[in-house]
Structures are given as structure tokens and as C-alpha cells.
């Protein structure tokens, strides 16, 4: 696994520059949300093996067209993720996240793929390929999710927002509450936390997929350390801030 340094100090410095551009007008906000709707939908799905390119994702979402030769499931993942993305800004305004919010995110993402499993905790044991980590038994998931939601308030009070967001993601995928779509919901939850604290939408590019997975595995197996994942996410936030500033300057 590549070594990532903690970039939270740099993130805080860049956040001050971003804040100097605020508040943004409605047209600027609309342009930015459209950009990130495509970018996050493409990248989050690509991390899980979706074959649509970013351009193809844009065509599917904006023009409502299907891409010849690409699986129907890949199209449903794009439209489902986009629907879930549309509600994260409102969820970020809420005082706290609830289990119902998490179930809704999953339902929006997954209902076109499997309506019976959408928005429902798994009823079976799952195995994650490429790792020795075994998620908790299905019967434990409801209790673990209640504890997860309650623990978010503790993380919010005790951790820097970037650490809070990273741990919200990491703790969620460790429970692995759904039969599928856990990574995508985790990245949406991470971004809800960041948005709620005034930070930018953070994208994990497919190019760093190996490092991303290795950082998760480091927390779940072997060294059992969450710091590599926190460091990794701090780098992703920083790079996303740089891109956000580029867009702000272009819009201005």
C-alpha cells in the first residue's frame, strides 16, 4: 500500500480560501451540483466495477439514453446513484443522520436492481472477495446499525470533520449491512458528513482504487489501524478541494 501522509492541516488552510468565495449564488450552486452529480456517480460506481465511462454516465443521466453494449445493471447503478445523490444536500442539513436516512439512500440506489433487497438490511452472510475480513453475522446487523448511528454523534464531537467523515465511512463498511451497494452508500455518507461541516464533495478516483481498498483492509485485518484510511481520505479531500477551487475560479 502506498503511504499517505495526513493532510488535514493543508485541508484546513484550503478550506479558508474556499470559504472566502462564499456564499455562492443559485446558478453557481446548480452548476457545481451538476458537475459533482456526474463525477461522484461515475467514480463511485467505477470503483465497484461499473463499465460506464464518465462521458457515458453523463449521457445516461442527462439525456436518458442507454449505451450500446453496456449491461443494463450498469445503467441502473448510474441512475440509482444519481437519485441518491440528489438527497444528500438535504440530509446534510439535518441535525443528525438516522437509520431511515441510510435505508433511503440504499433504496434509491438499489431498487431498480433488486427491489426486494433495496433499503433492507441483509438476511444472509456475505463474503467480500480479496480480503480475509468476514463481515458480522446478519442477525447482528440491526443492533450494530443502531450503535453505528448513535456513534456518529460521538465522532462528530470528538473528531476533526475529515476524520469524522473517514470513520463514518470505515465503520459503515465494517458492518456491511446490505447485500450490495455498501461502498457506494458509505461514500455518500462520508460526503453527507463533509457537506454538513462545510467541506466539498470528495471524490475517490478509480485510479487510486488499490490504495483505497488497501487502506480499508489495513483497518479490518492485520494491523487493525484506522489511521492509514484517515490519511488516505484527507488526501482525497485535499485534491477535491483543489478541483473545487478551480471550478469556483472558472465560475467567477
Q: How confident is the model at residue 221, as a pLDDT?
A: 82
Phi (first) and psi of residue 151, to 5 degrees: -70, -20
**C-alpha torsion sign, points 171, 175, 180, 185:** negative
The residue to which cell 456564499 is assigned: 23
How far is CA 152 from each of CA 138, 169, 180, rounded to the nearest angstrom? 21, 11, 22
Is 1 part of any domain?
no
CA–CA distance from 221 to each of 174, 213, 231, 250 (Å)?
Answer: 11, 12, 17, 43
In a domain, 3, yes or no: no
Mean pLDDT of the region 174-195: 98
The predicted-structure confidence for 194-236, as pLDDT tens digits, reads as follows: 999 999 999 999 999 999 999 999 999 877 799 999 999 999 9
**d(C-alpha 198, C-alpha 178), whole Å:** 29
Residue 32 within a domain? yes
Q: Does 49 appear as a known binding residue? A: no
Does the annotation list 184 as a binding residue? yes
Segment 102-144, tens digit of pLDDT: 999 999 999 999 999 999 999 999 998 888 899 999 999 999 9
Active site annotation includes 176? yes
Q: For residue 247, name the pLDDT band (cuts at 50, 70, 90).
A: very high
**Is residue 86 one of the residues assigned to a domain?**
yes
Average pLDDT of the segment spanning 24-36:
96
Residue 230: give the domain boundaries.
8-247
Tens digit of each residue's pLDDT (9 = 90 or more) over 68-92: 999 999 999 999 999 999 999 999 9
247 φ, ψ (degrees, to nearest 5): -65, -40
For a pLDDT cut of 70, what percent of the chain falls above it?
Answer: 99
Is residue 104 within 8 A of residue 192, CB to CB? The reply is no
- Is 110 within 8 Å of 180 (Cβ atoms)? yes
Q: What is the pTM of this model?
A: 0.97
> What's the number of domains the chain is made of?
1
CB 218 within 8 A of CB 229: yes
Q: Is residue 142 part of a domain?
A: yes
Q: How many residues does the chain have?
A: 252
Residue 252 maps to a domain: no
157 appears as a binding residue in the annotation:
no
- Of the candidates 5, 14, 15, the residue with the CA atom closest to the CA atom of residue 233: 5
What is the reported pLDDT for 1?
61
**Residue 139: which CATH number?**
1.10.3290.10
78 domain-assigned: yes
114 is in an annotated binding site: no
Asked if the structure places residue 238 within a domain, the reply is yes
- Residue 172 above 90 pLDDT? yes
Amino acid at each position: 500500500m502506498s503511504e499517505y501522509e495526513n493532510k488535514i492541516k493543508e485541508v484546513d488552510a484550503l478550506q479558508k480560501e474556499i470559504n472566502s468565495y462564499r456564499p455562492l449564488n443559485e446558478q453557481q450552486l446548480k452548476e457545481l451540483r451538476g458537475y459533482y452529480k456526474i463525477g461522484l456517480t461515475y467514480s463511485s460506481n467505477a470503483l465497484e466495477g461499473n463499465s460506464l465511462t464518465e462521458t457515458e454516465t453523463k449521457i445516461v443521466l442527462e439525456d436518458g439514453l442507454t449505451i450500446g453494449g453496456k449491461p443494463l445493471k450498469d445503467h441502473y447503478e448510474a441512475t440509482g446513484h444519481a437519485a441518491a445523490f440528489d438527497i444528500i444536500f438535504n440530509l446534510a442539513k439535518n441535525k443528525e443522520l438516522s437509520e431511515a436516512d441510510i435505508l433511503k439512500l440504499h433504496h434509491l440506489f438499489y431498487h431498480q436492481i433488486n427491489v426486494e433487497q433495496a433499503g433492507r438490511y441483509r438476511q444472509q452472510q456475505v463474503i467480500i472477495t480479496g480480503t480475509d475480513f468476514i463481515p458480522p453475522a446478519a442477525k447482528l446487523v440491526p443492533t450494530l446499525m443502531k450503535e453505528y448511528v448513535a456513534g456518529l454523534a460521538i465522532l462528530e464531537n470528538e473528531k476533526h470533520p475529515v476524520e469524522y467523515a473517514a470513520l463514518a465511512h470505515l465503520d459503515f463498511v465494517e458492518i456491511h449491512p446490505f447485500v450490495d451497494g455498501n461502498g457506494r452508500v458509505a461514500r455518500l455518507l462520508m460526503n453527507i458528513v463533509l457537506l454538513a461541516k462545510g467541506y466539498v464533495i470528495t471524490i475517490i478516483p478509480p485510479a487510486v482504487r488499490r490504495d483505497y481498498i488497501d487502506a480499508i483492509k489495513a483497518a479490518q485485518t492485520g494491523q487493525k489501524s484506522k489511521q492509514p484510511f484517515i490519511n488516505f481520505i484527507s488526501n482525497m479531500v485535499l485534491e477535491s478541494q483543489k478541483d473545487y477551487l478551480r471550478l469556483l475560479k472558472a465560475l467567477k
